A = this chain, B = another copy of it.
């Protein structure tokens, strides 16, 4: 049997590779087929939008979410890794807001209304929730004056909100790639005629899905959860059957 730690690191390396591929693919798509980048309220400024959203809201965010699962960090002080977690998420938030600025500036320049599509509604909700989650996380988990009872209450909400934001990020990116290809290609080579750009960008979507599923797989595995203070390395569920069998009990806790 492969050990849990080896299995984790296999998944972690896969996650890092898929994340890197997502960034390379989204950058190559916008360089090769969309004309590259600028910050002048033109179409070239829009091209920063998918790159910054995929890099910030999906890849950096996903890596920040699984940080506490790395077994290497378990023996070290949690406070240090809390700071790394918060810093990674702050970078992710900064890139996401910059990505929103890119599209809002472009819309203003071309007199296109903002926030009309479902993609934009889901996307803006994701960034707003992410901002609220980051501030609440800072106040609840990094502020020294946050009471222990509040932290305990906040923790499951923080974990669920974190997963919700990541899922919304994935949905935003997939619907965004779909929207961009429908709007950009139908005036030249129709999306439905399977041009090379469409296949490449669809494949970027598949990579984002694969990355997301590996991250959610890591998060949902209870064996890879960092143990909280007072817990030992072997977690045991106590059942009445075990309790009545006291000679068995001592072998369990060793």
Q: Which residues of A contact B (CB under 8 A)?
A: 112-113, 116-119, 121-122, 125, 156, 159-160, 163-164, 167-168, 170-171, 174-175, 177-179, 181-183, 191-194, 198, 201-202, 205-206, 209, 212-213, 216-217, 220-221, 230-232, 235-241, 243, 252-253
Residues of B within 8 A of A182 (CB): 117, 179, 182-183
Residues of B within 8 A of A178 (CB): 117-119, 175, 178-179
- Given the interface pairs A174-B171, A193-B113, A236-B238, the reply to whether A156 lies near B221 with Cβ below 8 Å is yes
Residues of B within 8 A of A253 (CB): 238, 240, 243
Chain B, Cβ-Cβ closest to A194: B116
Partner of A177, one of B118, B202, B232, B237: B118
How many subunits of this chain does the assembly comprise?
Answer: 2
Q: Report the bound CA distance from A175 to B121 in whole Å.
A: 12
Are A192 and B241 interface neighbours, CB within 8 A? Answer: no
Residues of B within 8 A of A221 (CB): 156
Residues of B within 8 A of A156 (CB): 221
Residues of B within 8 A of A230 (CB): 239, 241
Residues of B within 8 A of A171 (CB): 170-171, 174-175, 209
Q: From residue A62, how far is it (CB to closest CB) to chain B in Å?
A: 13
Residues of B within 8 A of A235 (CB): 237-238
